[in-house]
Chain A
Amino acid sequence: MVDTSVTLAGVELQNPVIPASGTFGFGYEFAEIYDINCLGSISIKGTTRSPRFGNDTPRIAECASGLLNSVGLQNPGVDAVVAEELPKLRKCFSKPIIANISGFSIDEYVECCARMDTQEQVAILEVNISCPNVHGGGMSFGTCPESAAEVTRAVKAAVKKPVFIKLTPNVTDICAVARACEEAGADGISMINTLLGMRLDLRRRRPLLANVTGGLSGPAVFPVALRMVYQVYEAVDIPIIGMGGVSCAEDVLEMMLAGASAVQIGAMNLVEPYICRDIVSALPETMEKYGMSELKTIIGGAHNG
């Protein structure tokens, strides 16, 4: 019998498999097709202070082994999430969740995080300073170490629960941003958000996405994400939630050997709605195949020697 449990900044998870924010809604679409209590946790749809429609459509474009999205943080706003979405999710998911928060100013991050901090079912705050699809917020805080640290400090001063900062890969040195977050008091790092990309519509000779650019995710980005998790693991001492193109139990193990303490599954939820459940059930036999008995002992294992 293998042990799949892991710990994230003091939060015990039965297994490391977490659907990533923006690919799982508020959980209940998936609860219609399987019992989502098998999951380690859930990172809910990115939430902002006010309701947001997001960007114009088309918001989705396909590419080899992945997709681009430019949804742009569509969400009903933190009040509606607290009043309506969290109670609905509570009915189908009994475990602690991760609240993903976005903002367009330091004040907005602080206000939303403080609001979520008081919600009993929220165990971890995941602060998204890396959305590539909004202007004047999101990724603009995550592309330089100073502003990343500033958001981290402000949020940490306002909340009690662990704060994970979600980083963008669209930077020259992700380790410098991660270190700045750690020094500013972050309890962990979530990485990576999507890679900025675009597609053209040959018939119209124009960008396919209404927003012109979008964020690339899916199996295409897995090696990039894995490399960055590996590098950041060496740069910081706080736990990492690894994500980016994970599509099977083997990918979960690779992410953890590279340095992730838990793993999020994103784009694959959109094409294989059972993927998280299937990865959870494949994990024990995959661990056995590679001679692993206790999952938490393999974290960062690729760095030894």
Chain B
Amino acid sequence: MIKTVYTIVSNEKIADGAYRMRLSGDTGAITAPGQFIDISVPELFLRRPISVCDWDGSGLTVIYKTVGRGTDAMSKMRPGDALEALSGLGNGFDMSRCARRTAVIGGGVGTPPLLGLAKRLTAAGHEVTAMLGFNGTGDMMLADEFAALGCRTLVATADGSCGTKGFVTELLPQAGFDSFCACGPLPMLRALCAALPDVPGQVSLEERMGCGFGACMGCTHKTKNGPKRVCKDGPVFDKEELIW
């Protein structure tokens, strides 16, 4: 973990209520896809934990949905503004445990961290299928970016406005894979793990956090290996470890 000040390079709307913010600055503490940064928003007491979509040596991208005062304030920030954050938080996905044929499965605003993962998996020679679920075309995001990486990209929408009608689980029969990494709402993760009992998987959980770095025990989840902090021991957990 480091505390650092980023400079906002751009901050643009990419879907209904969803924004992509590019930041320049120190990314040295980010070591794995699926980690997050904890953003200080002026006037608000708690930081806002937002997953890293992608990063390189000079900066990073986060994609966030406006769901309250913090993310609303973020959506009004301008290029050139300073953004103070704790960076390199959480464990991230363990790529060494991904099979040659791996699926990345995202729901809504859970999709962004999977893009950075898919980029690194394809670069490492994995055959990656991206299965993405959204409410409709309005909140759809990043499908073209996954395709541009060379991922086989499948989309499901609840309203049927794009791709297969239904939840992301509808897409599972359409692809072959031997491990998966998923991020999205808890009901989606639960349905996925129930539908894929024999496939090794890593899932990224979301929880309201206090600190974001393991001090307050605010975001604890019960697991088969005892209580685990989503912010520090996670947010990525082996699916076998979770109690559904």
Chain A residues engaging chain B, CB cutoff 8 angstroms: 22-25, 29-30, 32-33, 45, 53-54, 57-67, 69, 71, 74, 218-219, 267, 269-271, 273-274
Chain B residues engaging chain A, CB cutoff 8 angstroms: 1-3, 40, 44-47, 86, 207-211, 213-222, 227, 232
A54 touches B217 (CB 8 A): yes
Chain A residues within 8 Å of B213, by CB: 29, 273
State in angstroms the CA–CA spacing of A23 and B215 once bound together.
Answer: 6
State in angstroms the CA–CA spacing of A122 and B188 once bound together.
Answer: 47
B46 (CB) vs chain A CBs: closest residue: A62
Chain A residues within 8 Å of B2, by CB: 33
B45 touches A29 (CB 8 A): no
A270 touches B211 (CB 8 A): yes
State in angstroms the CA–CA spacing of A71 and B214 once bound together.
Answer: 13
B68 (CB) vs chain A CBs: closest residue: A62
Q: A66-B45, A271-B45, A271-B46 are in contact. Are A29 and B215 (CB under 8 A)?
A: yes
State in angstroms the CA–CA spacing of A74 and B233 once bound together.
Answer: 15
Chain A residues within 8 Å of B220, by CB: 53-54, 57, 59, 71, 74
Q: A74-B220, A271-B40 are in contact. Are A69 and B215 (CB under 8 A)?
A: no
B110 to chain A, nearest CB (A): 18
B217 touches A74 (CB 8 A): yes
Taking A57-B219, A71-B218 as known contacts, 6 extra A-B pairs with beta carbons closer than 8 A to each other, sorted by chain A number, are A59-B219, A60-B209, A65-B45, A67-B46, A270-B216, A273-B213
B216 (CB) vs chain A CBs: closest residue: A270
State in angstroms the CA–CA spacing of A32 and B215 once bound together.
Answer: 12
B216 touches A71 (CB 8 A): yes
State in angstroms the CA–CA spacing of A160 and B166 once bound together.
Answer: 66
One of B44, B219, B232 near A60 (C-beta < 8 A) = B219
State in angstroms the CA–CA spacing of A25 and B231 once bound together.
Answer: 14
A247 to chain B, nearest CB (A): 10
Q: A74-B220, A74-B227, A274-B3 are in contact. Are A57 and B215 (CB under 8 A)?
A: no
State in angstroms the CA–CA spacing of A60 and B45 once bound together.
Answer: 12
State in angstroms the CA–CA spacing of A53 and B222 once bound together.
Answer: 8
Chain A residues within 8 Å of B221, by CB: 57
One of B47, B208, B222 near A271 (C-beta < 8 A) = B47
Chain B residues within 8 Å of A64, by CB: 45
Chain B residues within 8 Å of A65, by CB: 45
B45 touches A57 (CB 8 A): no
B234 to chain A, nearest CB (A): 13
B215 touches A24 (CB 8 A): yes
Chain A residues within 8 Å of B3, by CB: 33, 273-274
A268 (CB) vs chain B CBs: closest residue: B45
State in angstroms the CA–CA spacing of A26 and B208 once bound together.
Answer: 22
* Closest 7 pairs (CB-CB, A-B): A270-B211, A60-B218, A58-B208, A60-B210, A74-B217, A29-B214, A62-B46
A59 to chain B, nearest CB (A): 5
A60 touches B216 (CB 8 A): yes
B222 touches A273 (CB 8 A): no
Chain B residues within 8 Å of A218, by CB: 45
State in angstroms the CA–CA spacing of A66 and B222 once bound together.
Answer: 27
Chain B residues within 8 Å of A274, by CB: 3
A-B contact pairs, 8 of them (CB 8 A): A33-B2, A59-B208, A60-B208, A67-B46, A71-B217, A71-B218, A273-B211, A274-B3
A128 to chain B, nearest CB (A): 15
Q: A57-B207, A270-B210 are in contact. Are A33 and B45 (CB under 8 A)?
A: no
State in angstroms the CA–CA spacing of A62 and B3 once bound together.
Answer: 21
Chain B residues within 8 Å of A57, by CB: 207-208, 218-221
A69 touches B1 (CB 8 A): no
B45 touches A273 (CB 8 A): no
A54 to chain B, nearest CB (A): 7
Chain A residues within 8 Å of B209, by CB: 60
Q: Which of B1, B208, B215, B221 has the most CB of A within 10 A?
A: B215
Chain B residues within 8 Å of A29, by CB: 213-215, 232
Q: A58-B208, A271-B40 are in contact. Are A25 and B214 (CB under 8 A)?
A: yes
Chain A residues within 8 Å of B1, by CB: 32-33, 273
Chain A residues within 8 Å of B222, by CB: 53
State in angstroms the CA–CA spacing of A59 and B218 once bound together.
Answer: 5
Chain A residues within 8 Å of B40, by CB: 271
Q: A67-B210, A273-B1 are in contact. Are A30 and B215 (CB under 8 A)?
A: yes
Q: A53-B222, A60-B210, A274-B3 are in contact. Are A67 and B45 (CB under 8 A)?
A: yes
A203 to chain B, nearest CB (A): 10
B68 to chain A, nearest CB (A): 9
State in angstroms the CA–CA spacing of A53 and B219 once bound together.
Answer: 11
State in angstroms the CA–CA spacing of A30 and B40 once bound together.
Answer: 19
State in angstroms the CA–CA spacing of A45 and B214 once bound together.
Answer: 12
Chain B residues within 8 Å of A32, by CB: 1
State in angstroms the CA–CA spacing of A195 and B102 once bound together.
Answer: 49
B235 to chain A, nearest CB (A): 13
A92 to chain B, nearest CB (A): 14
B163 to chain A, nearest CB (A): 28
